């Protein structure tokens, strides 16, 4: 027969579904012998659920001359095969008949299911991502954005389509963002940058990656952007920088405070000895008392320096209550005694 050269299974059956002819692809696809097929109807090939619709399809075909539909056929071993059926009305041995070309669409349906699952997964990621995700056309109009992005703009996701950056951002920032979008479209390259933005919802630091969005032919049709809020990271960086500065201050302050305290101790010791050896009538005794008072005040400052050296974060927490001046030690003086 002419249709033996056709790779897809081809049936010829009468208006009641009785199989009249078929090509060799039918035997290969469904596992039946030619003798067995000659005794079957198309209802025996369809699954029971799909077979119920055969009379209605044949009726439409006889009226219109052509129908196309998808259904399920059953292999001899029970395996289900999805098929796309293209049926036409013909004349066979002088009477009305139907010729059906059946194309296996099992693989196509499998791929379609994969695509649907992938689309569902991507949609879930899009909607639940903490990063702001948005899609714009070539003119900079928003086509779609996720909830995280909408929250930054203080709008609802369904309110975004058709809006431009000038409608959701301060003018200066909108100009900068638009310039970057145009660069992405013009060059066809992704652009990544970090910048500060003041938005209706607050002040943010964003790390933004923008990449050209292309159609199936590779033409750039818009911009896909992902913006990650790194405000918290920037705050940590600032704290770390402050900690490094404080550490440097501590390292410099520690030896200075220690040496200064030693000097104060020596001054305090000598001044105390002078004060004790001078008679009350000597006018210098009052001057020596001024020196001892100044040493006490300097000691308070030194104590703060020492506290800062031990822990920079305690700066300003030291009070006079815990300040002790250098002890009035009776160090052996090495000065010329001029007070008698």
- Each residue's pLDDT tens digit, 150-194: 888 888 999 999 999 999 888 888 898 999 999 999 999 999 888
Does 74 fall in a domain? Answer: yes
**Residue 301: is its pLDDT beyond 70?**
yes
pLDDT band at 10 (very low <50, low <70, confident <90, very high): very high
pTM across the whole model? 0.51
| 189 and 270 together in one domain | no
C-alpha distances in angstroms, 98 versus 84, 246, 320? 15, 91, 108
Instruction: Report yes or no: 207 and 192 within 8 Å, Cβ to Cβ.
Output: yes
- Look-up: residue for tokens 């990271």? 233
CB 167 within 8 A of CB 156: no
One domain for residues 6 and 58: yes
User: Does 94 lie in the same domain as 31?
Assistant: yes
Asked whether residue 119 is domain-assigned, the answer is no
How many structural domains compose the chain?
Answer: 3
3-state secondary structure of 333: coil
The CATH number for 143's domain is: 3.30.450.20
Measured CA to CA, the distance from residue 156 to residue 158 in angstroms comes to: 5
With vertex at residue 302, the alpha carbon angle to CA 301 and CA 305, rounded to the nearest 5 degrees, is: 90
pLDDT above 70 coverage of the chain, percent: 82
333/335 Cα distance (integer angstroms): 6
Do 161 and 210 reside in the same domain of the chain?
A: yes
Q: Which of 229, 254, 287 is the last residue of a domain?
A: 229
Q: Residue 305 belongs to what domain range?
A: 235-322
Report yes or no on 217 lying in a domain.
yes
Q: Which stretches of 137-283 are DSSP H helices?
A: 147-153, 171-187, 231-277
Mean residue pLDDT of the chain comes to: 82
Using an 8 Å Cβ cutoff, are 220 and 212 in contact? yes
CA neighbours closer than 13 Å in the CB half-sphere of residue 55: 1
């Amino acid at each position: 027969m002419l249709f033996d050269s056709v790779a897809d299974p081809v049936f010829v059956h009468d208006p009641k579904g009785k199989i009249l002819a078929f090509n060799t692809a039918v035997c290969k696809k469904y596992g039946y012998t030619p003798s067995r097929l000659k005794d079957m109807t198309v209802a025996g090939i369809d699954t029971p659920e799909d077979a119920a619709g055969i009379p209605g399809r044949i009726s439409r075909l006889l009226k219109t001359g052509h129908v196309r539909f998808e259904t399920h056929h059953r292999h001899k071993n029970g395996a289900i095969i999805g098929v796309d059926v293209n049926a036409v009305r013909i004349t066979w041995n002088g009477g009305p008949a139907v010729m059906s070309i059946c194309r296996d669409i099992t693989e196509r349906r499998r791929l379609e299911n994969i695509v649907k699952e992938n689309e569902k997964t991507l949609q879930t990621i899009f909607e639940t991502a903490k990063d702001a995700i948005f899609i714009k056309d070539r003119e900079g109009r928003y086509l779609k954005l996720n909830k995280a992005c909408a929250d930054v703009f203080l709008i609802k996701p369904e309110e975004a389509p058709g809006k431009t950056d000038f409608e959701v951002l301060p003018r200066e920032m909108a100009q900068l963002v638009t310039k970057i979008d145009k660069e992405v479209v013009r060059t066809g390259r992704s652009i990544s940058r970090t910048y500060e933005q003041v938005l209706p919802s607050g002040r943010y630091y964003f790390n933004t990656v923008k990449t050209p969005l292309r159609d199936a032919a590779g033409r750039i049709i818009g911009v896909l952007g992902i913006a990650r809020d790194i405000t918290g990271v920037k705050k940590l960086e600032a704290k770390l920088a402050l900690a490094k500065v404080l550490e440097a201050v501590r390292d410099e302050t520690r030896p200075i405070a220690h040496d200064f305290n030693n000097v104060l101790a020596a001054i305090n010791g000598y001044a105390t000895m002078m004060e004790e050896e001078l008679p009350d009538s000597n006018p210098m005794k009052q001057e020596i008392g001024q020196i001892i008072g100044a040493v006490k005040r300097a000691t308070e400052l030194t104590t703060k320096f020492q506290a800062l050296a031990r822990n920079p974060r305690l700066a300003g927490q030291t009070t006079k209550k815990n300040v002790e001046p250098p002890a009035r030690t009776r160090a052996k003086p090495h000065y010329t005694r001029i007070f008698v």
